[in-house]
Amino acid sequence: MTLPSPQLEARDIACLRGETLLFESVSFSVFPGEALQIKGANGSGKTSLLRILAGLGPSLDGEVLWRGTNIHLQRGQYLSALAYLGHNLGFKPDLTATENLRFGAALFGLDSSEESIDQTLLDMGLSEQKELPLRVLSAGQKQRLAMARISLSRAHLWILDEPFTALDGRGIASVVRLIEQHLQQEGLVVLTSHQTVDIKPSVRTWLLQ
């Protein structure tokens, strides 16, 4: 019997923030090679939804399934297949770009070689910054570094919260390229963005009310 193809499914997710019900009955599926963009007004709970998908926050109702099983029943496996980009990028300002990537890889249980780190930095146009402490990098450079970490992770599912923040045209283009490559390799992407994104072949959207 073949393994079920990697697929993310949200069933009847609901989210309560304090006393307000942000959203309920959210259900969708994402298949390999697909990108899903969560849209909604500010404060509609897009970040909360992404956090629920990543297993960080609890869903008031329903469940999130990965390959048919609830994510909380297979935490190790799900997290090995997941790369998450939050608002706070998760970098230490006093470590260099290379050190940050190296430690990030160790945390994930990856064996990232110096060459693959150097190559990724080159792809994202950050070679010159690789030995600089993160404090001195611009917001856009840090954002690109965050995407570099995501692509190094070899995860199937990318959950990206506002990946295009602080990026200029070229930065956006390189991130889009990364995402498209990932999709071509049967990866999955769920993201939020204020901007309209043009990702080939297509981006489905889900509107959060």
Partner 1 sequence: MVASVKAGYAAFIGLMKRDLLLAFRHRSELLNPIFFFMMIVSLFPLGVSPDDGMLSAMAPGVIWIAALLSALFSLETMFRSDYDDGALEQMLLSPQPLVLLVLAKIAAHWLVTGVPMLLMAPILALLFALNPEAIITLELTLLIGTPLLSLIGSVGVALTVGLRKGGVLLTLLVLPLFIPVLIFASNAVTESAVGMPVDGQIYFLLALLILALTLAPIATAFGLRISLS
Partner 2 sequence: MWNSISLYFHKMASPKHFYRLSGRMIPWLGFFTAILFFAGLYEALFLAPPDYQQGQSYRIMFVHVPSAWMSMFVYVFMTFLSGIYLIWNIKLADVMARSSAALGASFTFLALVTGSLWGKPMWGAWWVWDARLTSELILLFLYLGYIALVSAIDDTRTAGRAGSLLVIVGVVNIPIIHYSVEWWNTLHQGPTVTKMDKPSIHMSMLIPLLLMASAFQMYFFTVVLMRARTELLHRERRSDWIKEVTLG
Residue 18 sits in the site that holds partner 2 (CB under 8 A): yes
How far apart are the C-alpha atoms of 104 and 147, rounded to whole Å? 12
* Residue with smaller CB distance to partner 1, 76 or 169: 76
Residue 18 sits in the site that holds partner 1 (CB under 8 A): no
* Residue with smaller CB distance to partner 2, 60 or 132: 60
Which neighbouring-strand residues pair with 28? 10
Residues 51-80, interacting with partner 1 (CB under 8 A): 54-58, 75-77, 79-80
**Partner in contact with 32, chosen from partner 1, partner 2, none, beta carbon below 5 to 8 Å by kind:** none
| Residue bearing tokens 């295009």 | 164
Which residue in 66, 41, 40, 68 sits closest to 52, CA to CA? Answer: 66
Residue 98 sits in the site that holds partner 1 (CB under 8 A): no
Q: How many residues bind partner 1 (CB under 8 A)?
A: 30
Interface residue with partner 1 among 16, 60, 89, 197 (CB under 8 A) is 89
Residue 152 burial (CB count, 10 A): 21
Smallest separation (angstroms) from partner 2 to the CB of 57: 10
The secondary structure of 32-45 as a DSSP string is TT-EEEEEE-TTSS
Would you give the distance in Å from CA 64 to the centre of its chain?
16
Smallest separation (angstroms) from partner 2 to the CB of 15: 11
Residue 58 sits in the site that holds partner 2 (CB under 8 A): yes
Which residue in 180, 149, 152, 175 sits closest to 34, CA to CA? Answer: 180
List helix spans (H) across the chain. 46-54, 75-80, 97-108, 114-123, 139-152, 169-184
> Using CB under 8 A as the criterion, which residues of the chain lie in contact with partner 2 when the complex forms?
16-19, 58
> Using CB under 8 A as the criterion, which residues of the chain lie in contact with partner 1 when the complex forms?
54-58, 75-77, 79-80, 82, 84, 86-95, 99, 103-104, 106-109, 111
